[in-house]
Structure 1
Amino acid sequence: MELGSQIRRYRSERGMSQDDLAGRIFVSRQTISNWENDRTYPDVQNLLLLSDLFDVTIDQLIKGDLDTMKQAFDKDVRSMKILNMILYGLAAAIFIVDGLTLYGVAVAKREWPWPLSLMGLLALLVLLGMIIGLEENIKRRNDIRTYREIKAFLAGEEVDRSDRGHAPSLRKRLLLLLLVMVVCAVAGYALAALLW
């Protein structure tokens, strides 16, 4: 990325230290260092402050970085889509296989194998938790909170953050996930009953 070198160049041209620049745009010196070394990227508010302070347009400040940002954005979109496919496919596969296995063991032994069913459920919850955690990291990195924002992000469209008052709570999302898990478990059990 070129923004780091642009910030360093404009700061040096004006004879400012990292501390001076940090004080003028209300961030830490470490933040300026991270920007200049391309470890992090300034948010929109800081880009506006930098362009104002250096008396340049934002286009001049971030020239060359737009393609890099688009590639990073596209990579995150692809990752999110892949994680969604894995999440739902894995949930369905585990419930169907677990349902068939449990049904077979139950028919053979004439009793329900609770330890086996609990192990399958625990494995599913661990895998789902890991995938959901990866998705949440992508959403946090791209400042995505509502379903509409996720939908726009996955479609590669501009994300409108103006109306965030209706974001589903964590409780609602967990209840929805639980509902999906129950439906998949019933479907797996029904399929096992039909095949047996």
Structure 2
Amino acid sequence: MSFRDNLQHLRAERHMTQEQLAMLLGVSRQSVTKWEAEKSQPEMDKLLKICQIFECSLDELVTGDLTGRAAPDAAATIPAGPPTDVCGYDEHQRMMALKIPAGIAVILVGIAIGLFFEGAHDLAPVGARDGLFVIIVLAGVLVGLAFLVPAGMEHAAFQKAHPYVEDFYTEDDRAKARRDFSTGLIAGIAFIFAGIGCLIMVEPMAENAALFFLLFFIALGVWWIVRSGMLLGRTNVAAYNKSVADDLEVEDIVAAEVDESMRSALLDRKRRSRKLEAVCGAIMIAATIIALALLFAPVLTAPDMDSWTPEGTSAMWFWVAWPIGGMLCGIVALLWEAFGHSER
């Protein structure tokens, strides 16, 4: 019995399509097709992963006969019918929709708590009334990063392991996600309005407490809005597949087991993305040079340095260069994307 026969039998036994097996292995469907046509062989790490998926040894898979083995439990099979989530995509995206908003909200809550205690205690005999504020804010940032950094690393690892995901969401799933997003958006805005209301009512009595309630409710609102948006975005599987080329490095794309047309498309998109990054980087460097010129030119040309003030000079507006640079980058990105699509 050959590897091809064993693989075909194991797939059929578990009601698994080539696309589903490819998603589990992090390769393209064309790679699985070539394996079953005996036009190529999987690498050792893929063979070991196949053994793990089908619960068999390497010898049994490559040289044995698995057709006579007892059928697996029903829980281990993939139901026949429409595409299903075989690589844990939905679970992964739901995890991201918890950790990312939580990290952002924790940072905002840390700032809120810091503002509440600002100036409340001296940490040193001289000049440390803001020290407690800084410590609390830094602690909030660290806790927030404890959510954000692992989530980003897990997402990068998931993308590398699953560069392509077959769309398994139904129209009912997407409609429910849209309804949930509308509810979350309204709830988030309501929390932000509640924070503004607290600011208006409490500020005359206690400014620090008013700022605390404002940022606390803003944190709740941001949590609802970001989470709802990410849960809605997870149903756009095509956008996920498209983003993989932007996030993976060139070495990962070259090493991926995909057909040549897909590899060429991914590399082309990566090259276009790097060109866009270079153009936007040049724009922001130019904006920085202009900002520094606006800031220091009036100072260097002033006849009397002691009486010089920024009012009425270009130094007042040096910061405008960066927002304008950011807007120019956005315009270039839109035109770049449109030009790329017209080329294709």
The normalised TM-score by structure 2 is 0.29
Rg larger in 1 or in 2?
2
The normalised TM-score by structure 1 is 0.46
